[in-house]
């Protein structure tokens, strides 16, 4: 089955659509659940005020289309950047695959919306390297990263990723760092200026909304089975990624370092924001899918890969059964 997604073909595209529906077959039994907490950014207000008013069938269609479009967009960005030895839909399949494996991936909320902008931000950061006139890109990257943070607070780690992207992909130039910092500051300046002009209470509207929690909840046994499965998938991904990444040109290796930073920083948000109901694990989908695609791209013999995918598919089926039940 994995061989289908190693090519950029119409067959692979339709296979991806079918897999997206099958992996989330719970939509045929229960409507997609909206998840929004008013303490985690503007996107929560968008979900609470507008999306919640839509009919369940519309929400379900938007949910499936969003996963499909995000997966394809991620695959296009990584393929155009030559992050893999072979171009195809492997990253898209990895994204869809993980979206059915994560325990809270069936919840449609701000985290899923933010993933679209994380992919866009990463595509901009990749253009830093060897760009003769990067000032506009730097400002746009900083502005976008801060805007995402305002929309969804757990994505604050994207500021670190953007700064690290500049440090890794370009030689040090004080003017460029200054432009990036202006881009980062600009959205916050506009937000506070708007709140001030409208006589909002900063402590009530903004400061009290940003709270950090360290929390590790007690989960049932099946949660840890799913968690252990994700860990195994990522171990397999890194085993295939590391030796093959050394064969890539320096620009691509640097791109992978930025993706690695994105993975580690988004993972750090999970224990911090879980108690807020922010579902921060969903923003790890982008970097995890990028690395997991290596497990689908590089092995020459796919028997073991297909068996592993089949076993994980059984867990996904059971996850859907729990949702439906």
221: exposed, middle or buried (Cβ count in 10 Å: 0-12, 13-18, 19+): exposed
**What does the pLDDT read at residue 207?**
41
* CB 56, CB 274: distance < 8 Å: no
Name the domain count of the chain: 1
- Cβ atoms 31, 60 nearer than 8 A: yes
Please state, as a whole number, how many other Cβ atoms lie within 10 Å of the Cβ of residue 244.
14
C-alpha 309/C-alpha 316 separation (Å) is 10
Interval 50-77: pLDDT, tens: 888 888 899 899 999 999 999 999 999 9
- Quote the CA–CA distance of 247 and 173 in Å, as a whole number: 29
Residue 119's pLDDT is what?
A: 96
Per DSSP (E only), the strands in 189-249 are: none
CB atoms within 10 A of CB 284: 25
Count of alpha carbons within 13 angstroms of residue 244, beta-carbon side: 21
Q: What is the DSSP letter of 86?
A: S
Q: What is the pLDDT of residue 256?
A: 95
Q: What is the pLDDT of residue 200?
A: 61
Q: Residue 135's domain spans which residues?
A: 2-324
DSSP state of 103: T
Query: Is the separation of the CB atoms in 151 and 111 below 8 Å?
Result: no
Phi, psi of 45 (to 5 degrees): -65, -35
Q: Which parts of the chain register pLDDT below 70?
A: 36-38, 199-220, 274-278
Cα 81 from Cα 74, distance rounded (Å): 11
The model's pTM? 0.90
């Amino acid at each position: 089955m994995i061989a289908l997604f190693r090519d950029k073909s119409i067959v692979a595209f339709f296979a991806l659509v079918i897999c997206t529906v099958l992996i989330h077959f719970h939509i045929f039994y229960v409507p997609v659940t909206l998840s929004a907490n008013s303490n985690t950014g503007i996107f929560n207000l968008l979900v609470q005020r507008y999306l919640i008013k839509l009919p369940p069938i519309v929400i379900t269609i938007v949910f499936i289309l969003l996963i499909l479009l995000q997966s394809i967009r991620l695959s296009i960005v990584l393929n155009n950047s030559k992050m893999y030895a072979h171009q195809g839909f492997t990253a898209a399949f990895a994204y869809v695959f993980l979206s059915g494996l994560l325990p809270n991936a069936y919840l449609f909320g701000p985290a899923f919306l933010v993933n679209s902008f994380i992919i866009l931000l990463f595509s901009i950061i990749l253009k830093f390297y060897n760009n003769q006139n990067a000032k506009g890109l730097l400002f746009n990257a900083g502005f976008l990263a801060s805007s995402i943070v305002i929309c969804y607070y757990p994505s604050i780690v994207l500021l670190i990723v953007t700064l690290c992207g500049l440090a890794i992909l370009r030689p040090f130039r004080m003017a460029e760092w200054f432009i990036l910092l202006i881009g980062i500051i600009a959205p916050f300046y506009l937000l506070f200026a708007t709140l001030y002009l409208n006589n909002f209470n900063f402590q009530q509207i903004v400061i009290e909304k940003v709270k950090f929690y360290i929390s590790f909840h007690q989960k049932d046994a099946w949660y840890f089975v799913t968690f252990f499965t994700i860990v195994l998938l990522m171990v397999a991904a890194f085993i295939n990624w590391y030796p093959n990444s050394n064969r890539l040109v320096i620009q691509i290796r640097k791109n992978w370092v930025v993706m690695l930073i994105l993975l580690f920083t988004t993972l750090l948000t999970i224990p911090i924001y879980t108690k807020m109901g922010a579902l921060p694990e969903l923003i790890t989908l982008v970097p995890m899918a990028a690395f997991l695609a290596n497990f689908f791209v590089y092995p020459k013999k796919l028997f073991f890969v297909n068996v592993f995918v089949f076993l994980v598919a059984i867990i996904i089926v059971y996850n859907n059964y729990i949702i439906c039940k």
